[in-house]
Amino acid sequence: MNSIPLKYRLLILFIGIGLSSMIAVSLYYFRMNEQTINERTFEQLTSIRVVKQRQLESFINDRKNETHLLASSTNVKNLAKTLMDNNKDVIQLKSNLKDILSFVNNSPYYYFVIIGSNNELLISKISKNDSIFNYQIKKPDSTLTILSQTYQSKSAQEFSAISDFNFELQAEEPGMYVASKIPGIASEKNFIALRISLKAINDIMLEESTTSGFGLSGESYLVGDDYLMRSTSRFRPNSVLKTKVKTKASLAALEGHTGTSIVDDYRNISVFSAFAPLNLKELNWVLLAEIDFDEAMVPLHRSRNDILYITILLGLIIIGLSVFFASHIIAPIRKLKDAAEQIEEGNYDVNIELNTNDEVGNLVTAFNSMAKTILRQTSQLKEREERLTHFYNATIDGIYLHKNRKTILVNKALEKLTGYSNKELMDIQLDQIIQPTDDVNSRSNETLAQKKSGERFPVEIQKGTIDYKGEKIDACVIRDITKRKNIENALEKEREQKLSAVYDGQERERKRISRDLHDGLGQKMIALKLFMESFELTNQSQTIQTLEKIKKELDDLIAETRQISTDIMPPVLTEFGLEKALKQLCESINNSSKVSVVYDSIGQNFKSSNQTITYLYRIAQESISNAMKHGKALEIKVQLIAGKDFISLMVEDNGKGFELSQISENSGNGIYNMRERIKILNGKFEITSHNNSGTLIKVRVPKISDIA
């Protein structure tokens, strides 16, 4: 290969690349078309198969329901009873038969009505032109005997049963019957059967139009468990119970599988097939929708021919273009070879004349101006370095480059942020400027930085590793986030103010309800009681007893009203303060439950803002309620401590406790609400609990909070 001239190697290369690429694209396009046609054909057949399956299953089930309804009708029952009578009343028989035959005659299907009684059967053959009184009574023949035996066994378990096609049931064409026992008749042999014509099945399954999606060779048909057709083939008119279909598709469907495949059909012709078993209890049938493989592949064959013609045409074009471009490319390369030999000899003042604007022309131009280009590129590199340095120094984020904690480079922004000079920054370590964080491995974190003046301010640190003069060094980008923190603090304060407003609104509403219940409803009830006590009736002992009962109920109502008022906003809290209110709360629980609540207070000055004492009282209420309801505690200790500048509340129980890790921030026994109340008061909230070890809640708030 090395001995072949460059021109011919280029020809081989261009032609090889062009033809191989074209062939690869053609094959790929052909395969994609083939796959698309296969998928489209299978999807179309599956869609047709699903529609046919639903239609057929619905049709069969409708006929079973129709037969059952007919068998349950009064006329059929009366007709059966008349037939069982040895002395048959012909007039009554005709009267009962009239409505039955009228129902059957209006059906779009071809029926036989059969009612068995002992050793005889009534048969009525109906058509559009027959009289509704066209009937005959006769002894069972072979056809009726087979039908009777079939339905006496099949209909034993269900209200209706259906038989498969059978030539023995009808000589002209295969017979198929839906039968139902006649309820309310003593004889087990009495039943009614309606015949479903083969035409009704073919109306659903047989497709002969080329515009229905089946084309010239597509068809759908039914196959029974004996592999014989149950619907007429498009290509074989007399195929029912005569044509055997034992293909891979029918075998798979009879085994209960649903799917698609390319198989040989009953004509030994390759077809696309979509198959599935039918959901019919008495009939082990499968449905197949198929179209000839050759017909489905007609678009692919056309595409293949088009691809072949295009490939030949493009091949000729590629060969011609390859010869042209190979000759065009090799000419300047020869000139470059001669010029390179001159440069090798030390003659850099060379000039190749070539008037082209392609890559080869650019190469010649670059070759001609090599020396000038080196000087120009050197100048450009210096200018670029100056721009990068300016950008490096102009950025507002501080940059600190170090290796093993030894400072290598800092920028102007870091000098402005810290107040240190460049020389001072080069002599100190990063830890002297930035407060270390617990997460030393984190690439990004927030901490505090210290200026030369000692002032601290919040910063965001971004850590990484960069290449610097061929070495891996550590880099830190330091960003002043004072403004962002101020905004976050403002948002947090605003959130706390909103929460405070919500809680204060709740407390005001509770006070209002308490006042209304105590001063309004309570006073009215007392007045009513006084009125009833002053109301006297003589000689009405029963009335007096009634009034006494009313007075007792009013007493209970007054007590309940006062209790509700106390629960909503205890008067003692606003009148006598937090210490008395908590003491009364604990005594009330001791008197009304089996739980022992021990209260203790330390200190005397429990005065604070209304908001503070209300929140502490609500937290005590919530803690005691949670201990009783969720912790199942039997002993609870409540302690209130008044310091000089703070008030502390502790609630401890001996309940079953819980794991704090299992309690989310927004759920779990009101913990979140308690925590938010303390946060509003600028206090501290602490909870200690474990499974089977009780719970301890500690609260500490300033006597005068910022928002009091």
Domain-wise residue ranges, the chain: 72-200, 209-296, 391-477, 481-569, 576-708
209-296 and 576-708 agree in CATH topology: no
State the CATH class of domain 391-477. alpha beta
Per residue in 411-470, pLDDT (tens digit) is: 788 888 888 888 888 888 777 788 877 666 777 888 888 888 888 888 888 888 888 777
Query: Which one is predicted more confidently, 542 or 128?
Result: 542
Most confident of 95-104, 311-320, 337-346, 646-655: 646-655
**DSSP conformation letters of 29-66:** HHHHHHHHHHHHHHHHHHHHHHHHHHHHHHHHHHHHHH
Can you list the alpha helix ranges (DSSP code H) found in 428-481? none
Query: Which one is predicted more confidently, 323 or 93?
Result: 323
Query: What does the pLDDT read at residue 94?
Result: 63
User: Which of the residue ranges 375-379, 531-535, 621-625 would you say has the lowest mean pLDDT?
Assistant: 375-379
Average pLDDT over residues 563-576: 63
Using CA atoms, how far apart are residues 358 and 369, in angstroms rounded to an integer? 17
Residue 194 has pLDDT above 70, yes or no: yes
User: Which of the residue ranges 96-100, 193-197, 208-212 would you say has the lowest mean pLDDT?
Assistant: 96-100
Using CA atoms, how far apart are residues 466 and 44, in angstroms rounded to an integer? 60
Q: Which residues contact 389 (CB under 8 A, 6 or more apart)?
A: none
Q: Which residue is listed with tokens 């299907």?
A: 109
Q: Sign of the C-alpha dihedral, residues 44, 45, 48, 54?
A: negative
- Strands lying side by side in the sheet with 219-223: 219-223, 286-292, 270-277, 259-264
Query: What does the pLDDT read at residue 289?
Result: 93
Per residue in 223-252, pLDDT (tens digit) is: 999 999 999 998 988 888 889 999 999 999
551 with 557: CB under 8 angstroms? no
CB-based burial of residue 462 (10 Å sphere; 0-12 exposed, 13-18 middle, 19+ buried)? middle
Enter the tokens of residue 224: 């029974």
Using CA atoms, how far apart are residues 97 and 92, in angstroms rounded to an integer? 8
Query: What does the pLDDT read at residue 198?
Result: 84
48 with 193: CB under 8 angstroms? no
Residue 315 has pLDDT above 70, yes or no: yes
Query: Which one is predicted more confidently, 326 or 301?
Result: 301
Q: Name the amino acid, one letter, at 282.
A: E
56 with 278: CB under 8 angstroms? yes
pLDDT band at 521 (very low <50, low <70, confident <90, very high): low
Q: How far separated are the first and last CA of the chain, in Å rounded?
A: 95
pTM score, whole prediction: 0.44
Q: Does domain 72-200 have CATH number 3.40.50?
A: no
Residues of the chain above pLDDT 70, percent:
65
Enter the tokens of residue 480: 């002043």
The three-state secondary structure class of 473 is strand
Using CA atoms, how far apart are residues 387 and 395, in angstroms rounded to an integer? 12
**CA 587 to mean position of chain CA atoms:** 54
Rounded alpha-carbon distances, angstroms, from residue 262 to 109, 217, 272, 274? 36, 15, 5, 9
Query: Which one is predicted more confidently, 610 or 274?
Result: 274
- Which neighbouring-strand residues pair with 222? 287
Residue 128 has pLDDT above 50, yes or no: no
Per residue in 362-375, pLDDT (tens digit) is: 777 776 776 456 44
Mean pLDDT score across all residues of the chain: 76
CATH number for the domain whose boundaries are 576-708 = 3.30.565.10
Q: Which residues contact 93 (CB under 8 A, 6 or more apart)?
A: 79, 82, 83
Using CA atoms, how far apart are residues 368 and 162, in angstroms rounded to an integer? 97
Most confident of 91-95, 143-147, 483-487, 506-510: 483-487
Using CA atoms, how far apart are residues 671 and 664, in angstroms rounded to an integer? 9
Per residue in 647-656, pLDDT (tens digit) is: 999 999 998 8
Instruction: Report the candidate in 263, 239, 243 with the shortest Cα–Cα distance to residue 253.
Output: 263
| Beta-carbon count within 10 A of 47 CB | 13
230 with 223: CB under 8 angstroms? yes
Q: Which residues contact 123 (CB under 8 A, 6 or more apart)?
A: 112, 113, 114, 135, 136, 138, 144
Q: Which residue is listed with tokens 């928002």?
A: 707
Query: What does the pLDDT read at residue 274?
Result: 94
Query: What does the pLDDT read at residue 307?
Result: 79
Q: Which residue is listed with tokens 């708030």?
A: 701
Query: What does the pLDDT read at residue 173?
Result: 67
Enter the tokens of residue 255: 């085994």
Query: Which one is predicted more confidently, 81 or 145?
Result: 81
The CATH H-level superfamily of 209-296 is: PAS domain (3.30.450.20)
Query: What does the pLDDT read at residue 263?
Result: 94
Q: Which residue is listed with tokens 């209909």?
A: 155
Query: What does the pLDDT read at residue 288?
Result: 95
Average pLDDT over residues 554-566: 61
Query: What does the pLDDT read at residue 139?
Result: 47
Residue 275 has pLDDT above 90, yes or no: yes
Query: What does the pLDDT read at residue 273?
Result: 93
User: Residues of 577-596 as b/e, b for ≥16 C-beta within 10 angstroms?
Assistant: ebbebbbbbbeebeeeeebe
Residue 272 has pLDDT above 90, yes or no: yes
- Strands lying side by side in the sheet with 444-450: 406-410, 398-403, 471-480, 456-468, 444-450
Average pLDDT over residues 550-571: 62
Using CA atoms, how far apart are residues 401 and 656, in angstroms rounded to an integer? 56
Q: Which residue is listed with tokens 């005065």?
A: 607
Q: Sign of the C-alpha dihedral, residues 614, 617, 621, 622?
A: positive
The three-state secondary structure class of 320 is helix
User: Which of the residue ranges 203-217, 319-333, 494-508, 691-705 would you say has the lowest mean pLDDT?
Assistant: 494-508
Enter the tokens of residue 237: 């008119």
Phi, psi at residue 242, to the nearest 5°?
-125, -30
Per residue in 590-640, pLDDT (tens digit) is: 888 888 999 998 887 777 788 888 888 888 888 888 888 888 888 999 999
Phi, psi at residue 177, to the nearest 5°?
-130, 145
Average pLDDT over residues 533-547: 61
The three-state secondary structure class of 428 is coil
User: Residues of 287-315 as b/e, b for ≥16 C-beta within 10 angstroms?
Assistant: bbbbbbbebbbeeeeebbeebeeeeeebe
700 with 641: CB under 8 angstroms? no
Using CA atoms, how far apart are residues 583 and 586, in angstroms rounded to an integer? 5
Residue 549 has pLDDT above 70, yes or no: no
Residue 95 has pLDDT above 90, yes or no: no
Instruction: Report the candidate in 270, 254, 262, 200 with the shortest Cα–Cα distance to residue 59.
Output: 200
Per residue in 37-48, pLDDT (tens digit) is: 889 889 999 999
107 with 195: CB under 8 angstroms? no
Instruction: Report the candidate in 423, 434, 424, 428 with the shortest Cα–Cα distance to residue 398.
Output: 434
| Beta-carbon count within 10 A of 157 CB | 8
Residue 132 per-residue DSSP state? T
Residue 136 has pLDDT above 50, yes or no: no
Instruction: Report the candidate in 185, 58, 176, 59 with the shortest Cα–Cα distance to residue 112.
Output: 176
Q: Which residues contact 690 (CB under 8 A, 6 or more apart)?
A: 657, 658, 659
